[in-house]
Amino acid sequence: MMNKLVSADIEAYAQAHSMPESDLCRALREETQRRMEAPQMIVGPLEGAFLKMMTQLVQATSVLEIGMFTGYSALCFAEAMPAGGTVITCEVDEASAALARQYFARSPIGKKIEVRMGLALETMQDLKGPFDLIFIDADKINYVNYFRRSLDLLSPQGVILIDNVLWDGDVLKQPPPDEKTAAIQELNRTVSSDPLVSAVLVTIRDGVLVVRRKT
């Protein structure tokens, strides 16, 4: 699954002409590839650079992430934020979180990251916000629920980024082949028909939906 939408050559070219990943991110990515069963879940260097750029453009000082895995994208956000910035990141899997914590402890930048274990929807219920950037990258079945709750938690000029919205091209299939595909199609319909938000579906990697409130 994934990465068949953009050719490997084009991906490499785009990556070579984008900001490089940090040494810490590279080490984490390589260890995730060696040790974890599904390392392709990491956003990777090119989408990581995109997340950093969005963080800087929004001048985010507070980020919420749904789906930390081994912490690669959380590190990208933390690296792009000024001192004093905070990343709250949600995860259910202890083994993934253990590896993430090891890497967060290797750099002062890791101190910006707060890990919240448990189901992200429940964690979100207890959060107050506002967040300048919210990245949704877990549990596709609940994508619409995460989107709706994110709107409550978003700062006025904030941005919501939602990953894997092309789902390896399966979003084109009718009827949808499974419930995850159906959930992602519903999310894309919900966002694009919401009169209160503006969105652009960026065809980077597996598709990232960029959403902000209309002003």
Ligand X SMILES: C[S@@+](CC[C@H](N)C(=O)[O-])C[C@H]1O[C@@H](n2cnc3c(N)ncnc32)[C@H](O)[C@@H]1O
- Residues forming the site for ligand X (CB under 6 A): 41-43, 67-69, 72-73, 90-93, 96, 119-120, 137-139
Residues 6+ apart with CB under 8 A from 88: 62, 63, 64, 65, 114, 116, 127, 131
Q: Which long-range contacts (CB under 8 A, 24 or more apart) does 195-204 make?
A: 197/151, 201/165, 201/166, 202/50, 203/5, 203/6, 203/166, 204/6, 204/46, 204/47, 204/50
Closest CB 138 distance from ligand X, rounded Å? 3
Q: Write down the least CB distance from residue 177 to ligand X, Å.
A: 20
Closest residue by Cα to residue 34 from 1, 70, 9, 73: 70
- Cβ-based nearer residue to ligand X, 24 or 68: 68
Shortest reach from residue 58's CB to ligand X, in Å: 18
Shortest distance in whole angstroms from residue 30 CB to ligand X:
13
**Toward ligand X, which CB reaches closer, 118 or 198?**
118
Q: Which is nearer to ligand X, 69 or 131 (CB)?
A: 69
Please identify, using beta-carbon distances, which residue of 15 and 194 lies nearer to ligand X: 15
Q: Spell 151-176 as b/e; 16+ CB within 10 A means b.
A: eebbbeebbbbbbbbbbeebbeeeeb
Between 86 and 194, whose beta carbon lies closer to ligand X? 86
CB of 90 to ligand X, least distance (A): 4
Q: How far apart are CA 152 and CA 110, in angstroms?
A: 27
